[in-house]
Structure 1
Amino acid sequence: MTIFKDWTTFEKYWLVTFTLINLYLFFAWDDSILGFISALSGMLCVVLVAKGKITNYYFGIVQTSTYAYIAYTYALYGEAMLNAFFYFPIQFIGIYLWRKNQTSSSIKGEDIRIKRMTRKGWVRLTLLVLVSIFLYALFLTNIGGKSVYIDSTTNVLSIVAQILMIRRFAEQWIFWIMVNIFSIILWLTSLWTTGGNEISMLVMWTAFLVNSIYGYINWTKLYRQQKEV
């Protein structure tokens, strides 16, 4: 199929393996069809982001809306609000911005021009992130939140990673790696305490973690190739 014509062998096997795992969990653990759809669309989304493909946002629209509902049913209201009120609408902004910055080069695989942050940009962003985490944690404390610093950290890192993504910075993947690690811990805790059967959510975040590592490697390689062109 032409949709897979510029996919590497790793990317094809990675997607097939993840799909088969989720199919198994769907039947073995009596998982919900919504959980399966969310996990599969999420995996397609992040793989396409790692490849620099604009089509990632269409799968992102499906994943963020379904995941927001699932998170809400588990009383993970922070996750639900983050996906419903931030991730979902920003998919449309991402489509617009990535289309404006499509590359005209012939490098295999990617659609958009990739950027890297400067050292000064890193310093400014780090300070902004630390201050934002502290201030948001204070807000969560005032409204009676629990585990406020973990909650604040995951939300701030997620927002920063998404903004870096739509602005096409390779450094987004460093933040996604941290977000995915925290999300795995979050779902492990939730499934353990509630006895839920949405195992696909845990598998999805684990797959996201692996993909974010691959994404950083691939975007770094694409950036070098684009500079040479």
Structure 2
Amino acid sequence: MSFLGVAGVILIAYGRQENFLFNIVQNILNVVVSSKSKLFGDAAMAIYYLGTQLFGYDIWRKHRGKDGHLITDNRTDWSVVIAAVLLGGVALGGLSYVLGGTYIILDAFNNSTAIVAQYLQIIKRKRSGWLLWAATNLVGVYIWFGVAQPQIAIMYFVFTVNSLRGYINWNQLSK
């Protein structure tokens, strides 16, 4: 499952349509594994990611240049993005508080930015999604080290590096 996820995000960074196959299978497996482990928040996020992958496949297929590369969008209304992150963060933070979560504010920010980043990147093909993923992944590094899971923190560090690579690559795709 982890291999599929890493392969999928690397392919996204290069604007490759093949990412969807890896990510769809990874998210289906994640729903099963997370549910069996009673990590229902993670399972819910995997269902959301799966949905964006299913819709995103057709969107990406329709937005290809003559050379076959993904056509990305550099325009972002940051006031809408910030409002969505704040609204999502308050809602997720409240839920985390009620459920007795840890790192409530960071966790809420992390999941809220991930939801918005996924939407921007997969559905809207916006380069700015990579910046949100970088922020999400850096916070993830801190959280996972904080809960004594260094192997997951290292994975999020690798995701951060990939986010920067994706931002650079998508800048070139948008020209």
* Corresponding residue for residue 92 of structure 2: 136
Match of 2:50 among 88, 96, 107: 88
Match of 2:157 among 206, 225, 229: 206
Could you tell me the TM-score, scaled by structure 1's length? 0.66
Could you list the runs of 5+ residues in structure 1 that have no partner in the other structure? 1-37, 225-229
- Number of paired residues? 174
Aligned-residue CA RMSD (Å): 2.5
Deviating 4+ runs (over 6 angstroms):
none
CA shift in 2, pair 1:222/1:111, >3 Å: closer
Q: 1:135, CA displacement in angstroms?
A: 3.2
Could you list the runs of 5+ residues in structure 2 that have no partner in the other structure? none
C-alpha distance in structure 1 between counterparts of 2:157 and 2:35, whole Å: 20
CA shift in 2, pair 1:155/1:207, >3 Å: same
Per-residue CA deviation, residues 16-48 of structure 1 (Å, 9 max, x unaligned), is xxxxxxxxxxxxxxxxxxxxxx22212211111
CA shift in 2, pair 1:179/1:70, >3 Å: farther
Q: One-letter code of the match for 1:47?
A: I
Per-residue CA deviation, residues 55-95 of structure 1 (Å, 9 max, x unaligned), is 10111012223344455566544223211x21122211111
Q: One-letter code of the match for 2:171?
A: T
Q: Does 1:114 align with 2:72?
A: yes
The DSSP-based 3-state class of the residue aligned with 2:174 is helix
1:146-165 correspondence to structure 2 within 5 Å:
146-165=102-121
Q: 1:111, CA displacement in angstroms?
A: 2.7
Q: Percent identity?
A: 28
C-alpha distance in structure 2 between counterparts of 1:207 and 1:98, whole Å: 25
1:2-151 correspondence to structure 2 within 5 Å:
38-71=1-34, 76-83=39-46, 85-104=47-66, 106=67, 111-118=69-76, 121-151=77-107
CA contact (8 A) 1:61 1:88 kept: yes
Name whichever of 148-157 and 50-59 sits farther off: 148-157
